[in-house]
Structure 1
Amino acid sequence: MQILRTERLALREFTPLDARFLLRLVNEPGWLRNINDPGVRNEQDALAWAEGRLFKGYREQGHGFWAMERLADGELVGMCGLFRRPALPEPDIGYALLAAHEGHGYALEAARGCVAHARDVFRWPALMAITALDNPRSVGLLGKLGFVEQARQQIEGYSEPSRVFRLALG
């Protein structure tokens, strides 16, 4: 199901047919360095990971991380979306790209669409975001969106503390 559209991207729910892409994405060096190693080593692992991390959120919360599909050719380039993390007081935004698609503005474009969706559709008062301690590209993207760093916090599922950001949407 398509959630939103930007100039060059459609953001849609992932499906089981995306397992091969998810396997590739969560094993990208950037994902492993800046997010975590979810232990996904084959397509069955990817499906199980997607069930717990993506599909469950769609069913229970009505949102989650969505596939970023390039409108020009339908190619999946990454994920971006909105998620509720127990460790944070407000929903957060997250994104990840295949390395081959970095540097083309897709993450910023998708994130802008998600911020607008959070504000205009969900009517949330604020969004949060987390990054690895040493992830200057992500910090720069969040700065372009207007996020302000709040703290450093140990988040469950991450081996090191994260930088925590917030954006008021009101």
Structure 2
Amino acid sequence: MHILNTERLSLREFTPLDAPFLLRLVNEPGWLRNINDPGVRTQDDALAWAQGRLFTAYRELGHGFWAVERRDDGVLVGMCGLFRRPALPEPDLGYALLAEHEGYGYALEAARGCVAHARERFGWPALMAITAVDNTGSVALLGKLGFVEQAQQQIEGYNEPSRVFRLEL
């Protein structure tokens, strides 16, 4: 299902056909270093991970982490979206790109689209975001979006504390 368009990108729900892409994405060095190791090693693992992490959220919440594609050629570059974490008081903005697509402004563009979607479609008053403590790229991106750092917090599913940010919408 299509979610939103930005100038260069289209965001849509992931499908089971995206399992090979998800397998690659969650095993990228940047994902493993800055997010976590979900233990996904095969396409079947990727499909099971997507079922629990993505597809269920689409059905139950009406939002989640979406596939980010370039509009001009349909190439999948990453994921971006809105998710509710039990440890945070408000929905969370998250994103990740394949390394080969970093440096083109796709993460910022997709994140801006998701922030607008949260405000316009859901009417939420605020968003949260978390990053690894030393993820300077994500800290800079969140700053460009207007997020303000709140604290460091140990979040379930992560080995190290995370930097927690908030944005008034």
Unaligned runs of 5+ in 1: none
Deviations 1:52-95 (A, max 9, x none): 00000000000000000111110000000000000000001000
AA partner of residue 33 (structure 1): R
2:14 matched to which residue of 1? Answer: 14
1:91 matched to which residue of 2? Answer: 91
1:69 matched to which residue of 2? Answer: 69
Pairing 1:11-160 to 2, within 5 Å after superposition = 11-160=11-160
Cα distance in 1, alignment partners of residues 40 and 30 from structure 2: 15
AA partner of residue 111 (structure 2): A
AA partner of residue 12 (structure 1): R
SS of corresponding position for 1:11: strand
- Per the normalisation by structure 2, the TM-score is 1.00
SS of corresponding position for 2:122: coil
2:3 matched to which residue of 1? Answer: 3
The number of equivalent residue pairs is 169
Cα distance in 1, alignment partners of residues 111 and 5 from structure 2: 11
Deviations 1:110-147 (A, max 9, x none): 00000000001100000000000000000000000000
AA partner of residue 32 (structure 2): L
What is the Cα deviation at residue 11 of structure 1?
A: 0.2
What is the Cα deviation at residue 160 of structure 1?
A: 0.3
Cα distance in 2, alignment partners of residues 157 and 58 from structure 1: 20
Cα distance in 2, alignment partners of residues 82 and 105 from structure 1: 19
What is the Cα deviation at residue 30 of structure 1?
A: 0.1
Deviations 1:21-60 (A, max 9, x none): 0000000000000000000000000000000000000000
Unaligned runs of 5+ in 2: none
Cα distance in 2, alignment partners of residues 75 and 43 from structure 1: 19
2:168 matched to which residue of 1? Answer: 168
- Per the normalisation by structure 1, the TM-score is 0.99
SS of corresponding position for 2:66: strand
Give % identity: 83
Cα distance in 2, alignment partners of residues 109 and 51 from structure 1: 26
Cα distance in 2, alignment partners of residues 86 and 61 from structure 1: 13
